[in-house]
Amino acid sequence: MVLALTRNALGLNSTPPTQVLAGLALFLSLFIMAPVLSDVNEIGVQPYLSGDLTFQEALGVGIVPLREFMLSLTRESDIALMTRAAGMDNPATPADVPMTTLMPAFMLSEPAGGIHHRLRHLCAVPGD
């Protein structure tokens, strides 16, 4: 999102092409997510593949790093919005947020965070 906004702010309609921006976004996402994916692999995937965990057990332990990552980057207001949209009561603690609420809330927080980041830079006062 930030890359596309930057391209538009520079007045570049098609340079770099959308495919290049998508590739950069994918690479940057994998770079940022590498520690989380490594943890998921180490505590969930590999024990499952070696037969030490059942699928359900691997899923239960493997989702923890991903959940922590998403919770750390998701605004409470987005979690509340998704909770209300689902017709559920607000969770008492972050640990009580179901993944079916956390995932869409995370997806809402990311673009808004990118827009906020870009606007902050566009409106920055020199010397700040």
Is the pLDDT score of 26 beyond 80? yes
* Per-residue pLDDT band at 14 (split at 50, 70, 90): low
When pLDDT is averaged across residues 40-68 and rounded to a whole number, the result is: 96
Q: pLDDT per residue over 65-121, tens digit each?
A: 999 999 988 989 999 999 999 999 989 998 999 999 999 999 888 765 555 554 555
Question: Residue 3: is its pLDDT beyond 70?
Answer: no
Q: Say how many domains are in the chain.
A: 1
Q: Does residue 50 lie within any of the structural domains?
A: no
pLDDT of residue 84: 93
Domain that holds residue 80: 74-128
Is 95 contained in some domain?
Answer: yes
| pLDDT of 10 strictly over 80 | no
22 located within any domain: no
Query: Would 111 be classed as within a structural domain?
Result: yes
Question: Is 79 within the bounds of a domain?
Answer: yes
Q: Per the omega criterion (within 30 degrees of 0), is the bond before 16 cis? A: yes
Residue 29 placed within a domain: no
Q: For residue 10, report the phi and psi dihedrals to the nearest 5 degrees.
A: -80, -5
Residue 82 lies in a domain: yes
**Mean of pLDDT over the chain:** 83
Can you give the pLDDT at residue 13?
A: 65
Rounded to whole angstroms, the Cα distance separating 78 from 84 reads 10
**52 within some domain:** no
Contact (CB, 8 A) for 123 and 9: no
Looking at residue 18, what is its pLDDT? 75
